[in-house]
Amino acid sequence: MLPGTQDEVESIDAILRQKHIDVSLYTGASETESQIKTTDNPRVLHIATHGFFLQNIEKQKEGMLLGMNKDQVAKYPLLRSGLQFTHAKQAIKSGGDGVLTAMEAMNLNLDNTELVVLSACETGLGEVRNGEGVYGLQRAFQTAGAQSVLMSLWTVSDEATKLLMTCFYENWIQKQLPKREAFRQAQATLREKYPHSYYWAAFVMIGD
């Protein structure tokens, strides 16, 4: 976990606890794929880790990725998008616990979840199919039941992301603004410090 990410989740944890909201915080070795899979309808699911979307995979039957043949992974875009947790390097090479693919995320229990925050790089990417939208983490978490998903469109700045997320939760939880307005104001705050759109426009909120 990057230093900014650690600060980010600890700041958000403090904001939520000040409002007497129950929080389960997992960092370091406790931040596992299996832990995410046991999550049961939280109001908010905030995941601050590494995300990925594999745009092009060389199709080689003898090659392995995520414990499967590369040609199989290449065929299904929901297998090429995911989040990395503890033991991710080993999971990418040979499978096992460590990588939550978008296909697996579709089966999470999020029917009563108001918001999923994917505080990581490129979590909004996926394969665009005409008339069907984007196949990636966005679709997966909404299929799992999440009302809204906050995600990134490109590689993000660690420090800028920490500021954006902290401001967002302060606006939403402490000031009790509607979450879209809370996010808009957080972006405006970030834009004052980082005028370039690379920093303040990376994240988007989709859904209700």
Question: Domain with 167 in it: what CATH number?
Answer: 3.40.50.1460
**What average pLDDT is seen over the chain?**
88
For residues 34 and 104, the answer to whether their CB atoms sit within 8 Å is: no
| CA pair distance 84, 31, nearest whole angstrom | 10
| CA pair distance 36, 28, nearest whole angstrom | 14
| CA pair distance 116, 36, nearest whole angstrom | 12
* 148-152/203-207 β-pairing: antiparallel
- Residue 71 covered by a domain: no
- Binned at pLDDT 50, 70 and 90, residue 62 comes out as low
Counted domains in the chain: 1
- Residue 82 covered by a domain: no
Q: pLDDT tens digit string along 66-96?
A: 777 787 788 888 888 899 998 888 887 777 8
| CA pair distance 14, 199, nearest whole angstrom | 24
Q: Which of 17-21, 37-41, 42-46, 69-73 has the lowest mean pLDDT?
A: 69-73
| CA pair distance 127, 118, nearest whole angstrom | 18
pTM score of the predicted model:
0.89
- Residue 62 covered by a domain: no
Range of the domain at 199: 3-48+107-207
Q: pLDDT tens digit string along 165-199?
A: 999 999 999 999 999 999 999 999 999 999 999 99
